[in-house]
Amino acid sequence: MITCLRKFFFAKKILFGSFLLIFHLVSTAQTIPVGSLLDEAMRSIQLTGKLDSLVSFTVRPLASSAKIPGRSIYSFIDSAELGDQPSSYVWGKYGQLTVLPVTLIQQYNTHHPYGWNDGAMIAAKGYQTLVSAGLYASIGPLELQLQPELVYAANPSYETTNEYGTNPIGSYSKVFLGQSSIRLTVGAVSAGLSTENLWWGPGIHSSLLMSNNAPGFLHGFFSSKKPVKSGIGSFEWQLIGAKLTSNNTEPYENYNLKTAFLTGGSRYLSAFVVTYHPKWVPGLFLGMTRALQRYKQDIILSGSSLLSQYIPVLVKPFQKQNAQSDDTMHTDQLASFFLRWVLPKTQMEFYIEYGYNDYGQNIRDYVMSPTHSAAYIIGFKKILELKQNDHLDLGFEMTQMSQSPDYLVRDAGNWYVHSQLKQGYTSENQILGAGAGLGCNVQTATATWVKGWKQLGVLFERVERDPLYHPYKWIDLSIGILPQYKYKNMVLSGLFQFINSSQYAWQQGVNRFNLHSRLSIQYFL
């Protein structure tokens, strides 16, 4: 009996010790919402050499646990004013409760809808607002983040044509789960359910496959929470299975804000991003994204195995000669390859993303017609140190989504549109990727003076709207002011963009002026 008791207590000690070891390996920290003030600041911090050089910034949202020995990322923005972290309460050794910042975003367009990367907000004229607040809790490997969002838009009528716009039926309001998630995290690996916005790829103003242009959608995920080191370098990834929805009473961004009654119901999205940082080339990140979507009722057409039905993005061929049945299965594919190269000694980065919205017939087709159904993003960011905690942030980005001259031989249609899935690559009628609009080309240049949380910048932007399919070119030229100021625990940031729309809505000789303004107030408790 004594021997049995000794074995029992010995086994309990081993089990308890293993349990504590697992807890010790857990890296628990709330995620930083895509597009938030902290999310934007971290990238510049990395260029100054103060943030983990292994973080690619191509798989977001990031965890706020990114630290430099003994200090949090907050301390590299302005530790004297906002401290090292938001209000947190610790439960013993392995539990934590954090009150997340309260955010109020207000947006206004004077003439017609403009702006993107605004999450749950809609494309609308007039006033709209988004309110968000929440809590983060962790107990061992279990993490829960509850951060819902409330959106209201006055949504008045604006100038429309046969080719652009729809007169709204009234004001719009909706509650979303927003930046909420539940996950299990052990070490650098995490899995769970989430409605958070995602951002894949190296772009700052746009991303070809995944951005915060649309509301966050429900998805299951298996991902890295921080770079996973190996003998050949480090890896980051995210694999998701998601439900995409739409609303036939609201306009579609990929139909130039026209309403359309589209059948097919909800869609299932299977997608991934993976980034590799070779250990031999510091600062270089190479990666790819891929997304497959189909109508929910068509999932079973891809095969009997769970892998082919629910994770087809990992097993489906990239070539049409091996996937001729795609059209009968109502399947749409998008894919991209990207590079981000950080040069910390010069405090500069260069990046490019090149993607396809259709399959090639074979390898020869990809080589002979590399621009067929292609889009790309190219840009750079440069930090110029002025004095201590005071620098100039310069950036330029170009997004090209209209078709190349290859369309004269083979028309691939515009990005985010597919003949078999009429809703295209959207969620809640908003494009999941680059939000400038259907077939748009965008050039954006910024110069921002930064001192801690205080900023003052200027923005120059040119948007060429779907130039191939209209007789007259609609071009938006704009200049914007980007102020940011901190008062106690409150940070205010804004965008005031003055836009001249030449040949508005592709109408000859019709020019319109639009003021696009956005004010964000974030309160750290």
Closest residue by Cα to residue 120 from 523, 424, 427: 427
Whole-number Cα distances in Å, 2 to 11, 16, 100: 14, 21, 52
Chain segment 349-393, per-residue pLDDT in tens = 999 999 998 766 666 666 666 777 889 999 999 999 988 778 999
Q: Which residues of the chain fall below pLDDT 50?
A: 1-27, 66-71, 81-85
Whole-number Cα distances in Å, 196 to 61, 62, 147, 295: 8, 11, 9, 22
Chain segment 390-449, per-residue pLDDT in tens = 899 999 999 999 987 777 677 777 889 887 788 999 999 999 999 998 889 999 999 999
pLDDT of 360 reads 66
Cα separation, 340 vs 57, in Å, equals 9
pLDDT of 373 reads 81
Residue keyed to tokens 């390996």: 25
Residue type, 301: L
Q: Decide if 249 contacts 238 (C-beta within 8 A).
A: no
pLDDT of 326 reads 55
pLDDT of 419 reads 77
Helical (H) or strand (E) element with 459: strand 454-465
Beta-ladder partners of 463: 442, 476
Cα separation, 25 vs 517, in Å, equals 45
Cα separation, 105 vs 150, in Å, equals 10
Residue 293 backbone phi and psi in degrees, to 5: -135, 150
Q: Decide if 439 contacts 463 (C-beta within 8 A).
A: no
End-to-end CA distance of the chain: 57
Q: CA torsion sign, 210 to 215 to 220 to 224?
A: positive
Residue 374 backbone phi and psi in degrees, to 5: -100, 155
Dmax (CA) of the chain? 97
pLDDT of 69 reads 38
Give the mean pLDDT of the chain.
86
pLDDT of 121 reads 97
Tokens of 195: 């409605």
Cα separation, 71 vs 55, in Å, equals 17
- Helix/strand/coil for 195: coil
CATH architecture of 20-523: Beta Barrel (2.40)
Neighbours of 284 (CB within 10 A): 16
Residue keyed to tokens 């959608």: 217
Query: pTM of the predicted model, to two decimals?
Result: 0.90
pLDDT of 267 reads 92
Cα separation, 381 vs 393, in Å, equals 7
